[in-house]
Structure 1
Amino acid sequence: MLLPNPVKQNYDEEIETQRATNDIHIGGVNGKNTKHWDTAHEFKAMVLLVLGWGLVGVDRFMIMPIFPVMAKELALNYKDIGVIAGALSLAWGASAFFTGRLTDLIGTKKVLVASLIVFSLLAGVSGLATGLVGLVIIRAMIGIAEGGYAPAGQIATLQVSRPDRQGRNMGIQQMALPLLGMALAPLFVVQLLHAGLSWRWVFALVMIPGLLVAALMAKVLRAKSDEAIEHTAIHDHADHKWFDVFNYRNVPLQIVMVMGWMSCEMSMAAMMSSYLTDYLHLELVQMGFVLSAIGFGAAAGAVVLATLSDYWGRKPVTFIFGIVDLCAVVLLKNCGPDQTSLFLYLFLVLFCSQGLITIGICLITSESVPAKLIGASNGITIGICEIFGGGIVPILSGFIAHKIGIENFFYLPMGGCILGIMVCLFLQETAPRIVAAREAAARALAS
């Protein structure tokens, strides 16, 4: 039977006892311990975690503006492009599914450092590909490494963050991937290609920063740090089995919901560059400008919507901006080759999609399960959503573009938005501020 979002039966009495002993929990950390928090380590660790997640984005999405150039040299069609994008996401999802639990067992540091080294080296190897098969194999291997980084990076961000800064730090960490990978990397890559640098050498350039950040992480991050991980509202510190996560109602619901938002985001990431150049006939530099809206919009949405959900609630923000996301996709589909309009509509699509993904995976997932299931829950969520939303959907997008025209791939992100909007209606609210206010109001009525 699916359980609601429970709290201890004696939670109120426990809080009163903690107040009496001046030992109140704030985000899972005792007030007296928070007072002596190592802020210097938090700052250094957050810089590296932000850079590491940003490099994941660079390695994953720098291929977007390269696709049209690569397609001509390697004789790739739209279906092939979808397969290449889907292979990385499928491998990412399968890897995250298992490494989330692995991170709970061996710690975040080992997983993060190993992942960074492997995917940085493989990104450089991408430039050696001579055909579809080799490129798919290399991108799939990159997905395995990056899939291991995803849940470990989220958990590490919680671990190093002081409780009253967890939300802000998580938003900043999640912002790094779209900002560096979807916004700045396409602009940088387009300029390199425009200057005459081969796409093969562009891939090789990304190895150096990845290896450098991995070395610094190995030196700075602590092997294990559990101080801030028990931030969940479910006061259950017992050991649990891996698949116990599905006993908590919000987990299966938000998995389906996030699949919808990822369908929107990943189909845009896979197909927009070709849509802009082949259907709307934009030049390479113009395409790079419009495509950067994906990153800027996603980066802004990750921070803004996650912050708004602290005050308005996870469920209302998801519903409202889910509708906005759907409207933005429709406007983008019907927009002509005007660069400014394309940029604004694409910005809004990714602003909503990435913000809602952040709320679903990083907040609702973590707040809906016991502390010792956070890694497993995040890993399973990322895994399933990547396999479907990030893996199957780009392949379907490429198939649709190849068979009935690239302008028709927009129906997939529309369907994803509708799915997310419908499912969010059944979620239980988990925002601490909203839940606490409701509990206080219930106690006031009862008295």
Structure 2
Amino acid sequence: MAPVLTRDDPAADRYENRLLAILFLAFGFVFFDRQALAFLAPYMDDDFGLSNAQLGVLSGVLALTWALAGMCAGGLSDRLGRRKPILLAAVVLFSLFSSASGLMTGFLGLLAARALMGAAEGAVLPMAQALMVEASRESRRGLNMGLLQGSSAGLLGGIVAPVAVVWLADTFGWRTAFYVTIVPGLVIAAVIAKYVREHAPRARAAAGPVARVPVREVLRLRNVVICMLVAPCYLTWFVTMITFTPRYLTDEKGWGPGTMSAVMTCLGVAWVLWGFATPAVSDRIGRRASLIGFTALAACCPLAVVHVDDPVLLGALMILTYTGLGCFTLFMATIPAETVPRAALATALGVIMGVGELAGGFLGPLVAGRASDIWGLDAAMFIAAGGAALVVALSFGLRETAPAVLRRRGEVA
């Protein structure tokens, strides 16, 4: 269970806001790098001629190594009682490996670069969310974690990436677009080294000796089990959409790179909006109700990609229905943080993220890519919608954790 934190502490409030800004940029550039391949794939055809299945493999191998790294980093962090050194090393390494993608001349080399990048990036989210939850006021816990995980990825991965990456590829070539990704990562690493503390002011009262919690005890918690089941379904929805939507818009609908980039930017706008709005709403109406309602909307987004042929209308519908990234914060971070003991926080976050990336992020795009080569790219969109529909069903089994809702029910003081 997340610690009860002190209130009315101006110094703690300032650090909370500063940490949020730093981690917002750090995780945002993780997704900038992760998204770059999907936007650069059309430009790489002359050199690589990637099939849908190969594009799925490149997306899947990153998810595989991301998952393994997240699970290992979470457990290591809880054993050592340290977050900052692991986060710092991860940011430096993912910047280096992302840039290395531009050096590759064959599919296997690109595959290796993406695998190494995923191994570095996988440690970022468990470390960042564990640091953020310990620094956050109870009333802002969901909002902070949503801004960190959802809005940051939406702004930099969903809005900045399609514009910047496509412009760089058009102007300087796709290799240069990969090379420049090293710069923001190294700058952010320097900022983390200087300004991020191992223990936030609000966490100090809860810090000190804590009993280790075996992983098997964490896996017996109902909410953790359900979040582990939700994660692969939602990762299938997300990774399949970000991997195949750019190609769907250019190949199936015949739209040019500029139109594709503009429509994908609408996804980014929605990502930013719902990334903080969904968890903020959940602070008030509850995590369970928010996950059910917003995921039902998210299931409609890939269906709109298939059935709507007007770019303006499709962009508007994407903004209205691309609600899932706000839900990611709920099942990957906020609900587990409000369920498990502090000593097992990073472990729980890493396991949930790892299972999701393995089963959904890795296998999802492989299956979707193969299905698309056989039946067409419509298959990928229907697979994404099915993943979201399964999340709606699973979410009915969650136990509520939002403090404000539990107080209204009289379940907590």
Q: Which TM-score bucket, shorter chain as reference?
A: over 0.9
Q: Which residue of 1 aligns with 2:97?
A: 122
Structure 1 position 317, deviation (Å): 1.5
Aligned partner of 2:155 in structure 1 is: 179
Shift of 1:440: 5.9
Mapping of residues 139-150 of structure 1, within 5 Å: 139-150=114-125
> Following the alignment from structure 2 to structure 1, what is the Cα–Cα distance between the partners of residues 259 and 205?
47
1:69-80 matched pairs, under 5 angstroms: 69-80=43-54
Pair 78,161 (structure 1): closer, same or farther in 2 beyond 3 Å:
same
Map of 2:379 onto structure 1: 408
**Pairing of 1:6-405 with structure 2 (within 5 A):** 28-31=4-7, 34-35=8-9, 37-106=11-80, 107-174=82-149, 175-194=151-170, 196-225=171-200, 227-228=202-203, 238-336=211-309, 338-350=310-322, 352-405=323-376
Bigger CA drift: 101-110 or 121-130?
101-110
Q: Residue type matched to 2:135 in 1?
A: V
1:11 alignment counterpart = none
- Percent identity reads 28
Matches of 1:165 and 1:317, distance apart in 2 = 16
The secondary structure found in structure 2 opposite 1:429 is coil
Gaps of 5+ in 2: none
Counterparts of 1:415 and 1:164 in 2: how far apart (Å)? 34
What is the alpha-carbon distance in structure 1 between the residues aligned to residue 315 and residue 249 of structure 2? 11
Q: Secondary structure at the match of 2:118?
A: helix
CA contact (8 A) 2:155 2:272 kept: yes
Secondary structure of 1:159 counterpart: helix
* TM value normalised by structure 2: 0.93
Separation of aligned partners in 2, 1:162 and 1:433? 13
Relative to structure 1, the CA distance from residue 250 to residue 374 in structure 2 (aligned partners, 3 Å threshold; closer, same or farther) is same
Report which stretch shifted further, 287-296 or 264-273.
Answer: 287-296
Contact 1:126-1:203 at 8 Å conserved across structures: yes
Q: Retained in 1: the 8 A contact 2:304–2:318?
A: no
- The more displaced of 355-364 and 133-142 is 355-364
Q: Supply the distance in 2 between the matched residues of 1:440 and 1:319 (Cα, whole angstroms).
A: 22
TM-score (structure 1 length as normaliser)? 0.86
Moved more, 254-263 or 276-285: 254-263
Name 1:22's counterpart in structure 2. none
* Conserved? CA contact 1:293–1:343, under 8 Å: yes
Determine helix, strand or coil for the equivalent of 1:240.
coil
Aligned residue type for 2:42: P
Question: Per the alignment, do residues 414 and 168 of structure 1 end up closer, same or farther by CA in structure 2, a change over 3 Å counting?
Answer: closer
Q: Is the 8 A contact 1:64 1:186 kept in 2?
A: no
Contact kept in structure 1, 2:146 and 2:326, CA below 8 Å: no
Deviation at 1:237, TM superposition (A): 5.9
For residues 417 and 190 of structure 1, do their structure 2 counterparts lie closer, same or farther at Cα, with a shift above 3 Å needed? same
SS of the residue corresponding to residue 255 of structure 1 reads helix
Q: Quick one: distance in 2 between partners of 1:348 and 1:102?
A: 39
What amino acid sits opposite 1:241 in the alignment? P
Which residue pairs with 1:18 in the alignment?
Answer: none
Aligned to 1:409, the other structure's residue is in SS state helix
Deviations 1:285-325 (A, max 9, x none): 11111112222222211211111111111111222222222
After TM superposition, give the deviation of residue 280 of structure 1 in Å.
0.4
Contact 1:253 1:424 in 2 (8 A): yes
Measured in 1, the distance between the counterparts of 2:52 and 2:42 equals 10
Q: Which whole-Å CA distance do the structure 2 matches of 1:143 and 1:230 have between them?
A: 35
Where structure 1 has 5 or more consecutive residues not aligned to the other structure, the ranges are 1-6, 8-25
Query: Structure 1's 246 and 230: CA in aligned 2 closer, same or farther, altered over 3 A?
Result: farther
Q: How many residues align?
A: 409
Distance 1:410 1:355, change over 3 A: same
The 8 Å contact of residues 267 and 394 in structure 1, kept in 2 or not, is answered as yes
Q: How much does 1:190 deviate?
A: 1.3
CA distance in 1, matches of 2:134, 2:224: 22
Compute the RMSD of aligned alpha carbons: 2.2
> For the pair shown, which has the larger CA radius of gyration, 1 or 2?
1
